[in-house]
Amino acid sequence: MTPDRLCRAEGGAGFVEVFVAMALTLIGLVGAMGAFQAAEQSLRTGMLATRALAMAESRIEVKRSVRWDRLLLDDLNHDGIPDLVMRDDGAGGDVLAGDGVYSGSWDQDGVHLVWMVTPSRSGSLSASGHVLIEARALYVAGEGQREVRVGTLRANPRFVGSP
């Protein structure tokens, strides 16, 4: 075997082989980047859904724990002074003014929270035997707007023997 033939037989990869290897590596990297982007979007949507649920449940628990006569007042920044008075004015979650549904709303961290108190008797909260408390948290996910809803009933302590 001549030295010239020996060099050709033991030669490295050719241009076409290197090009194919680089193309396959690039395809793999692009696929991995797409998977990371999809995972990030999924995590962001999950984080917003968790935040929305936590905010809705928190508002329900606040309404369950306050005194009956302060049910329509909201202290959103927890400084002891009501920041919001729920109204029956047809705005926010309230469909129609004067329909007996009191509502309030708040936007925070990409979530729009609307809560409503509906007395069992229209017009008078003190004469109602119970109220329906509902909270809706709306947020935008990749596919569009999503919503989380929670609700509970609360009895008027005047009718159940508590002060």
Length of the chain: 163
Q: Where are the domains of the chain?
A: 3-160
pTM, 2 dp: 0.72
Q: Comparing C-alpha atoms, which of 61, 116, 62 is closest to residue 88?
A: 116
| pLDDT tens track for 34-87 | 888 888 888 888 899 999 999 999 999 999 999 998 898 888 877 888 888 888
Q: Which CATH architecture has domain 3-160?
A: Single Sheet (2.20)
